[in-house]
Amino acid sequence: MQKKGGQGDVLIPFPGRVAEGRYTFDGQALQLERNDKEGPNAIHGFVRSLPWTMHQASAHAVTYEVGLDAADYTSRGYPFSLVVRLTYSLDSEGLSCTFAVRNVGRAAAPVGVGFHPYFTVGTELVDEAEVKIPAAEYLEFNEQLAPTGRVIAAKGTEWDYRQFQRIGARRFNHCYLELDRDARGIATASLRDQKSGRTIDVEMDHAFSAVVVYTGDAIAGAARRALAIEPMTCATDAFNHPDWGLKRLLPGETFTGSYTVRARLR
């Protein structure tokens, strides 16, 4: 089966778009490859196209590893070295994904982590499903799908989904911020089929400060068949807006976080 629309991609060292692929870090102006099919931007980092090595496996969990070497990526606008480990674990409660990104270079590195899973609750199109997004704000995008810099309060707008609402014909490609959290510090986005009661919860820990919701309208032949709920440790274009959750990872430092997917009835 051919993968479409970034299905299951791991988005490191930046999730979402970097406007025109340009950014400045610690006084150094850098240019990333513009690889966005929908505009003049860089999108979704590097590791999604790399082969991973299995590091460890058990009956219920597996850990994969991949590295980014500055020697290979300086010419592509990222002169930093990272080692990334992902652990997927499955139990009766759900599927969890834990990341660990370590800076193995000699200088601080800008790091964002994201994931691009798609979900369905059995409806033919996502139009028939309901979504709940635990966020008080979202970013305004320009025609090239890069942020304008404006952060919009969701309350009172058509994009306030803090309570379940039917998706209908709305075209989501939105980056949400200021996530509401429970007493455990967990933010939960949910997709539900009201008729069957099938519900999928995506639970994001403290490491994740943003979530992108996407109805897949640009996926040829499979538009709106599933909903992407993308946990992200920083917002789209955080390389140009560090206060939107960008991690400044020091040499030898490791950045960790986890999200869990649970399926339930009602």
Residue 144 lies in a domain: yes
pLDDT, residue 5, reads 66
Per-residue exposure over 83-109, b if at least 16 CB sit within 10 Å of its own CB, e if not: ebbbbebeeeebebbbbbbbbbbeebb
Residue 66 lies in a domain: yes
Number of structural domains the chain divides into: 1
Residue 49 lies in a domain: yes
pLDDT, residue 71, reads 97
pLDDT, residue 126, reads 98
Q: Which domain holds residue 102?
A: 9-265
CATH number at residue 53: 2.70.98.10
Block mean pLDDT (10 aa), the chain, length 266? 76 98 98 92 96 97 98 97 99 97 99 98 98 99 96 98 98 98 98 97 99 96 96 99 99 99 94
Residue 227 lies in a domain: yes
72: number of Cβ within 10 Å: 12
Residue 1 lies in a domain: no
Residue 202 lies in a domain: yes
pTM for the full predicted model = 0.96
